[in-house]
């Protein structure tokens, strides 16, 4: 499914007659933008091509929960007007899918949960609003694990999404619908959220590019909160350039999120500068984690050789507290979620069981009916970890281990510019194979959650196949150095000649 650029991209650079030109649903944003500027296509035509693609593919893939056709039509008309007036930007008219955790005014947003069924936000979150302002066209809302808790999208209260590369496999999660929509050619890019790997892992499993920015790079205003000290919004795209472009558009200070930093928006700096003389850290612990598949390891080793041939120096580094990351994460994330999810009480929005003796009874009934098993597990676990008597042993202890994990990264970054590893220890696994054992599902995130605990930017870029399924290469960089992570990923993309193709042809 992946071919060298010379085989595929020629058709979009040259103007061709309509009847035999390449299908825009398989191109990158940069390529389609050229077609738009040349008048070879229009935003409205792009929209209808993508709706057709969704119509033919989504019955199998099930990436979307709901489409927003009237909004999309209005945005596409406005985009065409801007293009005609010569006022188009690099994202004008580009069709986007949005994970069901990002509030869009008037568009039902439910975090994959029954408890928010019917909820229509009265406002649009900052990240989405900035993309709307840049002329993007919103196709619809994508499926995810309930409240972004999961690694396979099987915890959605609606239905599981399937991996476009193999419909019997999961797309990863929690942002599985977003990843699958981009892989299947249903959207040109998509938004997700990443608390422990929920963008990078599904990007790896679906063979697309996905990035979690530095904590504080993108405003979380309008993101339904899971774990507030770990959550970040980020893009899924078909190229590293597209990823940098979407991130740059969303990023930057927002007075509506006090943790969103006021810093230069320099994420695209030196994108094409290559990796010559860069030192790339290879953490030995990340190659020996539980459940690491041989095929994944081989693909990553090959990718490291490609980077080496491109001029990078590979350095052995150590992250000695890797074995404790999962344990610390599964105290901190549930603790924060148990507090954040207290707002779902059946009073202000969503599901409500009013037929109760008193308000406590109403809370108990509403939350029993509204929350699925994984959310219940995490709320109970987090409530337990925060309760008096266990607070020091669990929550405080986990926060101290978090300090040590962050120090591991600080120490490693003294020896290297970026850290490279697999994104996921496995390729996409069969639907249903991990749902009975929560811990086996949690292990999916063992290579990504360190980046959240330490607040680092991380990107996953496709790096070949194992057993017919995509493998992702993860690049982690120091805080605020998205430019380095993207530059390494871009250098890999160029040196390997890999090209993300829509999986269903």
Partner 1 sequence: MLARIGLEAGEEDFYAEQLSGILGHIDRLQQVNTDAILPTAQVVEIAATLREDEPRPCLTQEEALANAPAAVDGFFRVPSIQEEA
Q: Which is nearer to partner 1, 84 or 414 (CB)?
A: 414
377 binds partner 1 (CB under 8 A): yes
In whole angstroms, the minimum distance from the beta carbon of 380 to partner 1 comes to 5
In whole angstroms, the minimum distance from the beta carbon of 478 to partner 1 comes to 12
In whole angstroms, the minimum distance from the beta carbon of 336 to partner 1 comes to 10
Site for partner 1 in 429-448 (CB under 8 A): 438-439, 442
Structure tokens belonging to residue 237: 């795209």
259 binds partner 1 (CB under 8 A): yes
Give the Cα separation of 370 and 379 in Å (integer): 13
Q: Pairing between strand 64-67 and 279-283?
A: unpaired
291: left (phi over 0), alpha (psi -120 to 50) or beta: left
Neighbours of 456 (CB within 10 A): 25
Catalytic residue among 174, 178, 181, 219: 174
139 binds partner 1 (CB under 8 A): no
- In the residue annotation, 400 being an active-site residue is answered as no
For residue 474, give the DSSP letter. Answer: E
Q: What is the DSSP string of 107-159?
A: B---TT-GGGTT---SS--HHHHHHHHTT-EEEEEE--SGGG--SSSTT-SS-
- Residue of 70, 86, 122, 264 interacting with partner 1 (CB under 8 A): 122
- The structure tokens 């795209």 sit at 237
Catalytic residue among 42, 99, 113, 156: 99
314 binds partner 1 (CB under 8 A): no
DSSP-H helix ranges across 310-446? 322-340, 359-370, 373-386, 397-412, 438-442
Site for partner 1 in 459-498 (CB under 8 A): 479
- In the residue annotation, 99 being an active-site residue is answered as yes
Give the Cα separation of 249 and 73 in Å (integer): 22
- In the residue annotation, 198 being an active-site residue is answered as yes
Site for partner 1 in 350-369 (CB under 8 A): 350-352, 354, 356-365, 367-368
Q: Which is nearer to partner 1, 168 or 361 (CB)?
A: 361
Closest CA to 82 of 29, 125, 40, 136: 136
The sheet with strand 279-283 has its strands ordered as 64-67, 137-142, 95-99, 189-194, 232-237, 209-212, 458-466, 469-476, 418-422, 279-283, 313-317
Structure tokens belonging to residue 412: 């490693």
In whole angstroms, the minimum distance from the beta carbon of 405 to partner 1 comes to 9
Q: Which is nearer to partner 1, 11 or 438 (CB)?
A: 438
Catalytic residue among 152, 157, 198, 424: 198
Q: Which is nearer to partner 1, 214 or 448 (CB)?
A: 214
Site for partner 1 in 157-196 (CB under 8 A): none
347 binds partner 1 (CB under 8 A): yes
Pattern 219-258, binding to partner 1, x per CB under 8 A? Answer: ----------x-------------------------x--x
In whole angstroms, the minimum distance from the beta carbon of 411 to partner 1 comes to 14
Report helix, strand or coil for 432.
Answer: coil
In this chain, which stretch among 86-94, 309-317, 399-407, 482-490 interacts with partner 1, using CB under 8 A?
Answer: 399-407
- Residue of 56, 380, 430, 468 interacting with partner 1 (CB under 8 A): 380
Question: Measured at the alpha carbon of residue 162, what is the angle toward residues 161 and 164, in degrees to the nearest 5?
Answer: 130
477 with 418: CB under 8 angstroms? Answer: yes
214 binds partner 1 (CB under 8 A): yes
- Residue of 381, 412, 488, 500 interacting with partner 1 (CB under 8 A): 381
Residues touching partner 1, count (CB under 8 A): 72
SS3 content of the chain, % helix, strand, coil (to 5): 45, 15, 45
Catalytic residue numbers, as ranges:
99, 174, 198
């Amino acid at each position: 499914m992946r071919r060298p650029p010379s085989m595929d991209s020629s058709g979009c650079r040259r103007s061709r007659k309509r009847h035999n030109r390449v299908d825009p649903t398989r191109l990158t944003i940069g390529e389609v933008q050229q077609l738009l500027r040349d008048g070879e296509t229009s935003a409205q035509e792009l929209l209808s091509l993508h709706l057709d693609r969704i119509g033919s593919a989504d019955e199998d893939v099930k990436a979307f929960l709901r489409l927003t056709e009237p909004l999309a039509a209005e945005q596409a008309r406005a985009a065409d007007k801007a293009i005609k007036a010569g006022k188009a930007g690099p994202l004008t008219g580009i069709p986007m899918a949005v994970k069901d955790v990002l509030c869009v005014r008037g568009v039902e947003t439910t975090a994959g949960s029954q408890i928010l069924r019917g909820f229509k936000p009265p406002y649009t979150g900052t990240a989405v609003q900035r993309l709307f302002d840049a002329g993007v066209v919103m196709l619809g809302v994508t499926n995810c694990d309930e409240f972004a808790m999961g690694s396979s999208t099987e915890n959605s209260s609606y239905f599981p999404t399937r991996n476009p590369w193999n419909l019997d496999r999961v797309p990863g999660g929690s942002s599985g619908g977003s990843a699958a929509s981009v892989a299947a050619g249903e959207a040109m890019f998509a938004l997700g959220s990443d608390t422990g790997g929920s963008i990078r892992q599904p990007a790896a499993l679906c063979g697309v590019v996905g990035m979690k920015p530095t904590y504080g790079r993108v405003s979380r205003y309008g993101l339904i909160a899971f774990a507030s000290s770990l959550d970040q919004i980020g893009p899924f795209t078909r190229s590293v350039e597209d990823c940098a472009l979407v991130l740059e558009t969303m990023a930057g200070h927002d007075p509506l999120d006090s943790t969103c930093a006021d810093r230069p928006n320099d994420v695209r700096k030196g994108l094409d500068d290559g990796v010559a003389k860069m030192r790339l850290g290879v953490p030995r612990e990340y190659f020996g984690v539980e459940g690491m598949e041989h095929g994944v390891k081989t693909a990553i080793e090959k990718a490291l050789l490609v980077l080496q041939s491109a001029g990078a120096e590979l350095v052995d580094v150590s992250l000695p507290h890797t074995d404790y990351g999962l344990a610390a994460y599964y105290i901190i994330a549930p603790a924060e979620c148990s507090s954040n999810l207290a707002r779902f009480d059946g009073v202000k929005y969503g599901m409500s069981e009013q037929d109760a003796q008193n308000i406590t009874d109403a809370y108990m009934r509403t939350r029993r009916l509204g929350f699925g098993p994984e959310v219940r597990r995490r709320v109970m676990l987090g409530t337990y970890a925060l309760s008096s008597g266990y607070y020091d042993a669990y929550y405080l202890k986990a926060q101290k281990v978090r300090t040590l994990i962050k120090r591991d990264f600080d120490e490693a970054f003294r020896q290297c510019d970026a850290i490279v590893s697999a994104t996921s220890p496995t390729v996409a696994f069969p639907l249903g194979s991990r749902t009975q054992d929560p811990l086996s599902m949690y292990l999916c995130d063992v290579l990504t959650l360190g980046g959240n605990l330490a607040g680092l930017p991380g990107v996953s870029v496709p790096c070949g196949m194992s057993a017919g399924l995509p493998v992702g290469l993860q690049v982690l960089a120091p805080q605020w150095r998205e430019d380095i992570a993207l530059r390494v990923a871009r250098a890999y993309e160029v040196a390997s000649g890999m090209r993300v193709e829509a999986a269903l042809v």
